[in-house]
Structure 1
Amino acid sequence: MEEITETWEYDGSFYGFLCLVDQAFSRKAFPVLILTPETASESLFMGEWTTTNEARAQKIYRRLQQRLTAENLQFIQTGFYATLANKERSLLDAIEIALGTKDSLENYIGHPAVLAVRKAIKTLLGEVHLFTGFVRFEYVGNILFSKIAPKHYSLPFLCPHFAERYPNEQMMIYDETHRLLAMIDHGAVTLIEDSDCPNIKETVEEQEIQSQWRAFLSAVTINERTNSKVQMGHLPLRFRGNMVEFD
């Protein structure tokens, strides 16, 4: 595919990206830069706006399902939610490679675009893994509630872990970084974008549970053996703001 010195812009959604994919392959050209409303404010360039069309996006997604292996399609989808500068441009290169092979994109890490996406995915999933141990829930009525502040768009990948682990519970997890609310109802996950944090109020029972938890941690702590440097290696400071034991 030819690379052209153009800048394109879209709304930042996955459907919007699929419309960009359709536009790029229809024109047989990839732009040098792709902007979203967030990155456009930091750029000196004006982009050609690509309108998101849900029907068009679904059509392209079905075509990708037909022509890409399930593994490579998952690589593209996960890569879209990873944090990477001008990731859309790298993903277009990855899609072009995937369309021409049945091999895993993992075998093409010699290509700069594929390698960049792979590293971004590894960082994203690494954060997800950490949050499986660092999320702290509290009871708000009959609902388990937690608030997190991830660097990456981790919440959609984190929810299946808790949905499977607690299939009989109702839970809410709020991502204050991306203003994303996840509602998990007996294993079924619903995501609400651009959401404010729910106004919650702890019950007396929950306050007592938290008090007992802090008392337990205080009792098992040996102050003379405290090693802050080692502790930060196992539990970085950025995770502690929403953990009850550090409240």
Structure 2
Amino acid sequence: MVCTKQVYICHDTITGIFSAIYDAWKESRDTEAGIALRGCLMPQLFCEYREVDEKEQKSIAVERLIKNNLGYNAYWDLYHALLSDGPEKADAVYQTILAARKVKDSRKIMEHLSNPHVAKVFELSRKVANEAHLFTEFIRFRELDNGVLLSEITPKGRVLTCIADHFTNRFPLENWMVYDKTHKVFLVHKAGMNWILVEGEELDQTEAEKVSTAELEYERLWKGFCKSIAIKERENLACQRNHLPIHFRQDMTEFR
């Protein structure tokens, strides 16, 4: 008799993936199971595919399970891995949670890098954390006519929640937005309040180009400053790329 592997299919969101982990943990944790993202599914033999009923309650339950049994540090590694663009991230996180059951101290699961799933989670988590850190340096806001500060970015991972607190602390009394063009999500902050994520909306490019008069002047001055401090004879493009990767330049004032 051939054993069938259960594969749970979900959307590429925290709620969707945690819901899939909830179902897999509840129904198949003692048998072979996996998780696949919708749109990234590679059909395999001897697998039974199931659509996941995605619910916030399931996501909360899995978050609590991870924090209570694996600890906050491991939770943030798993969470950051799920923000990456890796198609295998959901299954890697689920398999890491399963692997934690077999180690003496589940809170040290992320130290077991000999496990390929743990190593993959570590790699994806570090990738997202590094990208988020770079965006805290390379994000450029522009002031619109209505006084709102707007920035457009093109990240590989879903880094908005990673950078939200940084800019909230820096601009607590400003109205600002960061638009993730890759995933079409807004990070929105209202003066004096906390930030929120807004999905399912498109950026109005016409309105986004209506910048204030002061903004135009500061852009001109900033570009002039960057040009004036450059020494053409000492130009080193390879060194520039190490400090400022080309991927980030498309949304920076200096290179527009």
What band does the TM-score fall into relative to the shorter chain? 0.7 to 0.9
Identity in percent: 23
CA positional deviation for 1:44: 4.2
Q: 1:15 is matched with which residue?
A: 15
Comparing 95-104 and 214-223, the one that deviates more? 95-104
Q: Is the 8 A contact 2:69 2:107 kept in 1?
A: no
> Which residue of 197, 204, 229 maps to 1:191?
197
Unaligned runs of 5+ in 2: none
49 and 226 in structure 1: CA distance in 2 versus 1, 3 angstrom threshold: same
Regions of 4+ moved over 4 Å: none
Alignment CA distance shift 1:72-1:99 (3 Å) = farther
> Do the aligned residues in 2 keep the contact of 1:7 with 1:47 (CA within 8 Å)?
yes
Instruction: Tell me, in whole angstroms, the C-alpha distance in 2 between the residues paired with 1:37 and 1:224.
Output: 51
Question: Which residue is 2:126 aligned to?
Answer: 122
Q: In 1, are the aligned partners of 2:8 and 2:24 still within 8 Å (CA)? A: no
Shift of 1:69: 1.7
Report the Cα offset of residue 238 of structure 1. 1.2
Is contact 1:7–1:48 with CA below 8 Å preserved after alignment? yes
Give TM-score, length-normalised by structure 2: 0.85
Q: Please tell me whether residue 236 in structure 1 is matched to residue 241 in structure 2.
A: no
Q: Is the 8 Å Cα contact of residues 70 and 108 (structure 2) preserved in structure 1?
A: no
Return the alpha-carbon distance in structure 2 between the equivalents of residues 129 and 138 of structure 1: 20
8 Å contact from structure 1 (residues 143, 170) kept in 2: yes
CA distance in 1, matches of 2:111, 2:58: 31
* Most deviating of 129-138 and 65-74: 65-74
Deviates more, 1:204-213 or 1:162-171: 162-171
How far is the alpha carbon of 1:72 from its aligned partner?
A: 2.2
Q: For this pair of structures, how many residues does the alignment match?
A: 242
- 1:174 counterpart (173, 179, 182): 179
Per-residue displacement from partner, 1:156-184 (whole Å, max 9, x unpaired)? Answer: 10111111122222210001011111012
TM-score by length of 1: 0.88
Query: Where do 1:60-209 residues align within 5 Å?
Result: 60-99=62-101, 101-140=105-144, 141-185=146-190, 186=192, 188-198=194-204, 199-200=207-208, 201-209=210-218
> Over aligned residues, Cα RMSD in angstroms?
2.2
- In structure 1, list runs of 5 or more residues that go unmatched: none
Q: Is the 8 A contact 1:136 1:146 kept in 2?
A: yes
Deviates more, 1:20-29 or 1:167-176: 20-29
